[in-house]
Amino acid sequence: MEVVDIRPILAPMLSLVCAGLIFLTGRQAFWRRMWSLLAAALKLGVVMSMLPGTLNGTIYVFKLTDFTPGIGLGFRVDALGMFFAIVSSTLWLLTTIYAIGYMEPEESKVRFFGFFALCVSTTVGIAFAENLLTLFLFYESLTIVTYPLVIHEETPAAFKAGKKYLVYTLIGGAFILLGTVLTYHTAGTLTLSKPGILTLANGTQTLTLLFVTLIAGFGVKAAIMPLHGWLPTAMAAPTPVSALLHAVAVVKAGAFGILRVIYNVFGVELLRQLNLTVWLAWLAAFTILTASFIALFQDNFKRRLAYSTVSQLSYIILGAALLTPMAAMAAIVHIANQAFAKITMFFVAGAIQRKTGKTSIREFAGIGYQMPYTMGAFTVAALSFVGVPLFAGFITKWYLSLGALEAGAWWFVVVMIASALLNAAYFLPIVYLAYFKAPPGTRFHVDEAPLTLLIPTVICALYVIVLGTTAEVPWMPLSLARTAVQFFFGT
């Protein structure tokens, strides 16, 4: 049931207006914070207000204008989009609070918060895009508006990172545009409202080409190896930006795009017939393992997190590529699970860096005593990644394994287990270092990060537990994911 409603456009517009207000009046800290928080809260409200409807199968649509004849600039809230939107607006609120504290000593705060808001605006735009062109529109805008955030420090390293980021993502964008053009040329439509707009009649060769093009395009932001190069470099950005880039907006936009391509552009049926996703699944598996392996040898905390992100994102890709309902559910839910856990970790990284100036894991010895809550949050997130039951990550791994078995591909379960071990191998030593390796002879007193940094961190960590313990409770992400999966698999 489709309902025309203003809320789908209201959500991105809110952050857009907020960005405008910040640019205009943001010189005073009060207004800057005020607008950021207000818009974040309002937006979360708007998005959440649509949740009950979405769960009941209502689709909210809003068509702004015809972008070109035949292709509208339209918004459409389905379950998958809703899922992504909720994750990003929740995290925006938390990250905003965090950023207010974190960015205190930095310069150019107006620019930072303005583009931050723009970034979220485009992310929600991606989530609610009605067709592939609208999606592309917001996807490219996202690239542009994140650039000032990446190079925020204005150091040579930041410029280098920014350049790398742009080169990778714009080339990816070009691939998407190409794919979009080709899709329109073949299918005559770009709408994302159906489970698949292409048919086998379009020719296997064209379809294969199209699939490769689109996956390559979205794969850049989703950091599928070997397209992940920009992500560790982009660590030069301030921590809230890294958090946003790595946990919420950018990488998830890529993953989300891949989900859209698989479920809405091609459709499960067609892909099964084409048998195209096998190699994608293998690529994802390869990425999961290789990235984890590389992460083992990273001493810089944020870089280790970055490679962990690369690895974790491919869970989503793998889940999508398996083409079974269970795996699909895992893929969708992992958007949230990974986001909350990873953002917790970045918050922790930022808090430690602000408080102690330490960025290298070697220096973390004993830090658990100095910042117990922060490191506690980190431990929770780490356990989630390892896949310990009762934490969010377990849900993903569980359903993903089920999905793999469903698809008769038991070897992916092996990959999953190997990945869990690798995760443990690179996260748990940090925990160990923090709590048990205090250099002898140093006195410890609790010296926590400021509250603005601490509160979002702890909330995120708690949420990781909530997600892990109450997964089957109605209204929790899993139910939304289930709605989406039912639509895509037609069950």
Nearest distance in Å: CB 254, other proteins: 17
> In the complex with other proteins, which residue's Cβ is closer, 198 or 422?
198
For the CA atoms of 171, 172, 177, 180, the dihedral, rounded to the nearest 10 degrees, stands at: 150
- Residue 24 or 38 having the CB closest to other proteins: 24
Which of 276, 149, 290 has the alpha carbon at shortest distance from 228? 290
For 25, the token pair is 């009046």
Q: Which residues does 163 contact at the CB level (< 8 Å), separation at least 6?
A: none
Instruction: Give least dist CB 23 to other proteins, A.
Output: 9
Q: 3-state SS of 377-443? A: HHHHHHHHHHCCCCCHHHHHHHHHHHHHHHCCCCHHHHHHHHHHHHHHHHHHHHHHHHHHCCCCCCC
Q: What 8-state DSSP symbol labels residue 364? A: G
Task: Considering the complex, state which of residue 73 and residue 258 has its C-beta at the smaller distance from other proteins.
Answer: 73
Q: Which is nearer to other proteins, 187 or 462 (CB)?
A: 187
Which is nearest to 251 in space by CA: 167, 173, 339?
339
Q: How far is the CB of 136 from other proteins (least distance, A)?
A: 7
Closest to other proteins by CB, 68 or 491: 68
C-alpha span between 480 and 51 (Å, rounded): 9
Q: How far is the CB of 171 from other proteins (least distance, A)?
A: 6
DSSP code at position 103: T
For other proteins, the closer of residues 170 and 388 by Cβ is 170
CB of 10 to other proteins, least distance (A): 17
* Residue 183 CB, nearest approach to other proteins (Å): 10
Question: Helices (DSSP H) in 188-300: which residue ranges?
Answer: 204-221, 230-233, 239-243, 249-260, 268-274, 277-296
Give whichever of 110 and 383 is closer to other proteins, judged by the CB atom. 110
Shortest Å, Cβ 296 to other proteins: 35
Cα gap 84→344, rounded to integer Å = 18
Residue 300: its H or E element:
none
Comparing CB distances to other proteins, the nearer of 71 and 422 is 71
CA 36 to CA 360: how far, in whole Å? Answer: 32
Chain-centre distance of CA 425, in angstroms? 23
Which positions lie near other proteins, rule CB under 8 A? 64-69, 73, 111, 133, 136-137, 140-141, 143-144, 147-148, 151, 154, 159, 163, 166, 170-171, 174, 177-178, 181-182, 184-185
Least distance from C-beta 35 to other proteins, angstroms?
18
